[in-house]
A and B are shown apart, each in its own frame.
Chain A
Amino acid sequence: MNWIVQTFASSVGKKTMMAVTGLGFCLFLAAHLAGNLSLYVGRQTFNAYAEHLHSLEPLVKVMEAGLLFFAAVHVITGLVLFYQNFTARPSRYAVTRSAGGRSVGSRTMPYTGILLLGFVVYHLLNFHFVDKTGTTIYDIVAAAFTDPVTVGLYVCAMIVAAFHVSHGFWSAFQTLGANHPKYMPLIQGAGLVFSLLVGLGFGLLPVYLLAVS
């Protein structure tokens, strides 16, 4: 087997792919959140932001293709790891008890991941693959969030995302070998802060739009 294929097919290689793509998503989330904060300002600002983004069309297309590629790698590798890790212990323990290493985030990674995949598809159908003639993106978003069920779904999805990132962020650094006695506590703290920002930043937006509708 070719050494490159061998490297990425190995356990540590697969983890490396998860870490690189996962951190890529974290960067995307940060940028996406920064942009969406303009929703709090109002209709004009958000539409201006969206228009400005689309004036960078070729760049946006490249980023979209990159995200799609990262998503394919992250999801497929994640599912392979989930399957392999499940079969690595064919007979389960009658009693399992944590010694305190695991967190809610770490325990639920594959499940929060699969839920996120479902959410991303739903989210893109809501706001990306829609007819935007004769209306603005702000109006589409504002109209969607007049429905309390939609708002509830988005809030839940953002809580799920916060848990996924609460473990994923520091875990990715550890996977890439970046565990340093001085910096690891900072990285873990930054991961928690980032997951809170994702949960609150994205999660409160639909609630705010529902409230002002």
Chain B
Amino acid sequence: MTKSINLTLKVWRQPGSQSSGRLETYEARDISTDMSFLEMLDVINEQLTLEGAEPIAFDHDCREGICGTCGAVVNGRPHGPEKGTTLCQLHMRHFSDGDTIVIEPWRARAFAVIKDLAVDSSALDRLIQAGGYISASTGGAPDGNAILVPQETAELAMDAAACIGCGACVAACPNASAMLFVGAKVSHLALLPQGKPEAARRVAQMVREMDRLGFGNCTNERECEAECPKEINITNIARLNREFLKARFFSSEK
């Protein structure tokens, strides 16, 4: 049933990437529990605009959990407290009247804050450019069926391909490591026949780029898989490690 709740928000405000930021407190009055978290922020922003204040900058696009653009750390939890949910799909019914909610941007050396909650996560694009693709011509749609892929393998690859590149794994990792993201991309392509020919070069280059971009090292804390909105499994990180060792010691890839 629809209810209205009142909340206290503590939101990270930072005018630009070079400036310092701080948490500012806002009162959110009469928030419908049918609203999404981002709609709640829209309401606050309308209020701020009417008051002549600067609205809170935050990233969003599809608002249906598929593009990977949105995301903020809510009370210490990337994308909020609900399992398998992006911030845009998080509903206010999961909060209670009188709650205080602390909202912070993704924090990692490899992700710079652009403004408030908006973060430059182009480091993930750079990782894709380093090898998260195939360059073989795979023909048209009918040619896709010419190479048989066992159902189980296809499922594993599709599970890995569900990654939307939101960066929550990096935000959740105590070491700000991007291993779940890279593990998902490496797994998705290494599992399929179209991705195999370039598997060794892909993993070698993606790991090199990941280190160069200043992400941390994985220590198997498992916070990433617990926070990932697409519930990407850490077996993908194990596969990344396997693929890396295989590429380094058993391929001619330098």
Measuring CB to CB, which residues of chain A are less than 8 angstroms from any residue of chain B? 3, 6-7, 10-16, 81, 84-85, 87-102, 106-107, 109, 167, 170-171, 174-179, 181
Contacts and interface: CB of A to CB of B under 8 A. Distances in A.
Nearest to A14: B217
A10 B247 CA distance: 13
B31 interface: no
Interface string B73-95: 10111000000000000000000
A162 B100 CA distance: 38
23 contacts: A7-B249, A14-B217, A15-B217, A81-B219, A84-B216, A85-B174, A85-B176, A88-B108, A88-B109, A92-B107, A94-B102, A95-B76, A96-B76, A97-B77, A98-B226, A99-B223, A99-B227, A102-B174, A106-B221, A107-B221, A170-B220, A174-B220, A176-B245
Contacts of B240: 12
B111 to A, nearest CB: 10
Tell me if B's interface is mostly helix, strand, loop or mixed: mixed
Nearest to B216: A88
Interface in B223-254: 223-227, 234-235, 237-245, 248-249, 254
B223 A102 contact: yes
Contacts of B38: none
Interface stretch (B39-47, B125-133, B136-144, B206-214): B206-214
Contacts of B116: none
A97 B75 contact: yes
A81 B225 CA distance: 21
B69 interface: no
Contacts of B238: 174, 177-179
A209 B223 CA distance: 42
Interface of B: 10, 12, 23, 73, 75-77, 102, 104, 107-110, 172, 174-177, 179, 207-208, 210-211, 214-227, 234-235, 237-245, 248-249, 254
B219 A171 contact: yes
Given A10-B208, A174-B234, A88 B219 contact: no
Contacts of B224: 101
B109 A101 contact: no
Given A93-B73, A96-B76, A11 B211 contact: yes
A7 B75 contact: no
Nearest to A102: B221
Given A87-B109, A89-B216, A12 B244 contact: yes
